[in-house]
Amino acid sequence: MRKVALDNGYFCMQLKSMSVQLRAIQKTMMHCTTGHWFSRRVLTTLAQILFLLKMPYLRRLAKSMRKPHGFVLLFMMHIIIGLLLYPIVLRCVGVPRRLKNYGNRSNLTSLATKKYEKAVQLNWNSPQALNNWGLALQELGAIVPVREKQTIIKTAISKFRAAIQLQFDFHRAIYNLGTVLYGLAEDTFRSGRPINAKEVSPDELYSQSAIYIAAAHSLKPNYSVYHSALRLVRSMLPLPYFKAGYLTAQPAHIPIAPHKDWQRSQFVLNHEGLQQVSRVDKHLSQNPSGRSQGSPPVDKSLVKVDIRDIVSVSACADLTLPQGAGLCIDTINGPIYLVADTWESLYGWLDAIRLVYTIFARGKSDILAGIITG
């Protein structure tokens, strides 16, 4: 008992001494607004030496303290040291003095976002830099006011998409895009406000999220994080298809048709290809659960694109196309032109077709087939 009491008394003396020394270093650091790197290095070394000198005592103290009050004192010591050292560490790594609130998460995240932006400017063709920029924006969107969140999240989506366009099999960016779309769908659904024609509905956002997460899992099936996320969102896919939606197409047997002959119809995409669905097709009638039943019948007058025949997929603009967002699928048999209702819808089709082709090129089509048909 006496030994523990002596240790506790000695502990209080050591804690007071350490606090005084740390406070002196902290005050010195506060005067170094933009100090030379050598001065920051010296002060950092002093702080490290101070801790090294105290380590033997801390180890002995931890072994000798057996009662609860001893551990409480030790815990309080760590809290005090952390509070004293936090501004010092920020100063040593070069955080500007204008950030008066050093613990402000929003300011630090904004600073990180600007750093990633500069990194992309220096290396504009780096998918990793774009992915990191998107992650920083996603983190910033979680802590900013609601009125600013949607703009930041949409910017994060554009960064993830840019990273994917640079590297189609970049599974981390694909998965991150799926998660940010899922969060946007949750926010849109909880808001309860009416959705106008130019906005994307929560159901469509959920479906897009499931597409990217399923693609990430297909590329990296051994990642447990992707597998867990897929179990959550798989039911949001238009099973047994990877993507379903509406596009405007000209008759397949007419090379160049006038605008009045173009018709808006449903298209479905799976691991094998993209196919137009006939209006009279009853196999695609929706059941109460919202899933498509059966497969579309084979009709040579309908547009059909096999994944193995695709050469490239890109957005296009041409006077021969009706009003809307143009989509060009270049195949070994020639180009096929389609028109999406909006540019947002077009980006979804572009990514989905490219992802299915990338999965096919990597020899993972069987995994994707198992997801949408299993």
CATH of the domain at 166: 1.25.40.10
230 and 251 inside one domain: no
CA distance 364 to 353: 15
- Cβ within 8 Å of residue 111, ≥6 positions away: 95, 99
Domain count for the chain: 3
Q: Does residue 173 surpass a pLDDT of 70? A: yes
Q: Are residues 169 and 269 in the same domain?
A: no
Task: Say whether pLDDT at 95 is over 50.
Answer: no
Residues written for the chain: 374
The answer as to whether 290 is a domain residue is no
Mean pLDDT of 209-230: 95
What pLDDT is attached to residue 320? Answer: 80
Domain boundary among the residues 92, 127, 143 is at 92
My answer on whether 110 and 227 are in the same domain is yes
**What confidence category does residue 188 fall into, taking pLDDT thresholds of 50, 70 and 90?**
confident
pLDDT given for residue 74 in this prediction:
52
Give the domain CATH number at 324.
2.30.29.30
Residue pLDDT, tens place only, 153-168: 888 999 999 999 999 9
Q: Judge whether 145 lies within some domain.
A: yes
Residues 129 and 189 in one domain: yes
Q: Cα–Cα distance between 176 and 157 in angstroms, integer? A: 9
Q: Alpha-carbon distance 296 to 278, whole Å? A: 8
In this structure, is residue 97 part of a structural domain? no
Q: What confidence score (pLDDT) does residue 78 get?
A: 52
pLDDT of residue 142 exceeding 50 = yes
Same domain, 252 and 221: no
Is residue 291 one of the residues assigned to a domain?
A: no
Last residue of a domain, one of 67, 92, 117: 92
| Ranges assigned E (strand) in the chain | 243-249, 263-269, 273-276, 304-306, 310-316, 325-331, 334-340
The reply to whether 116 and 178 lie within a common domain is yes
Domain that holds residue 79: 2-92
Domain identity same for 268 and 194:
no
| Domain's final residue, options 26, 61, 92 | 92
Q: Which of 79-88, 95-104, 296-305, 337-346 has the highest mean pLDDT?
A: 337-346
- Do 253 and 350 reside in the same domain of the chain? yes
pLDDT tens, position by position, 242-297: 999 999 988 766 667 777 888 899 999 999 999 999 765 544 444 433 444 444 44
Stretch among 193-202, 304-313, 316-325 having the lowest mean pLDDT? 193-202
Q: How confident is the model at residue 40 (pLDDT cuts 50, 70, 90)?
A: low
